[in-house]
Amino acid sequence: MNSIILTAATRVITPLMVAFSLFILLRGHNEPGGGFIGGLVATTAFALYAKALGVRATRAALRVEPAAIAVAGLGLAALAGLWGLLAGGAFLEGMWPLLTTTPSGDKAGLPLGSVLLFDVGVYLVVVGSVLAILFALEEDVAASSPEEAD
């Protein structure tokens, strides 16, 4: 698509959207949000990029093949599960290595652990699989209508 407004705006909006998607991913830890919805927002950012600048430019910007992103995400989620299994005894059990219990019974420290790892995995699976489908469709359309190919 040749629209200078869209192209110029996309260059600004895409990084903002990706940053926002990371915010949603982290926010989902205790509030509405999370890996799935964050991943969809990030996907929208790349979809916009692909619309404005073409699929080839988006693939170059991503550097990694979408399917590989999805499988890497699946691997992270599986690792988060195994972590719980090996350290806690149950697959997917939440592990909080940086969290300690104070003498008064409260929790102190940084609530980072296997749950966030799992959520990051979900985020990557969503980004990778939706983009893989989207790119395949876009490239099919581009191949069947030569004047739109970039």
Interaction site with another protein (CB under 8 A): 67-68, 71, 74-75, 78, 81-82, 84-85, 88-94
**Nearer Cβ to another protein (5/90):** 90
The CB-of-98 to another protein minimum distance in angstroms stands at 19
The CB-of-63 to another protein minimum distance in angstroms stands at 16
113: closest CA among 81, 89, 70, 72? 81
The CB-of-6 to another protein minimum distance in angstroms stands at 33
Please state, in angstroms and rounded to a whole number, the distance separating the CA atoms of residues 127 and 124: 5
Please state, in angstroms and rounded to a whole number, the distance separating the CA atoms of residues 143 and 137: 10
User: 30: helix, coil or strand?
Assistant: coil
**Nearer Cβ to another protein (1/64):** 64
The CB-of-56 to another protein minimum distance in angstroms stands at 20
The CB-of-64 to another protein minimum distance in angstroms stands at 12
53: closest CA among 1, 18, 127, 128? 1
**Nearer Cβ to another protein (13/117):** 117
* The two structure tokens encoding residue 57: 């430019």
**Nearer Cβ to another protein (17/69):** 69
| Phi, psi for residue 99 in degrees, rounded to 5 | -105, 130
CB 73, CB 132: distance < 8 Å: no
**Nearer Cβ to another protein (26/85):** 85
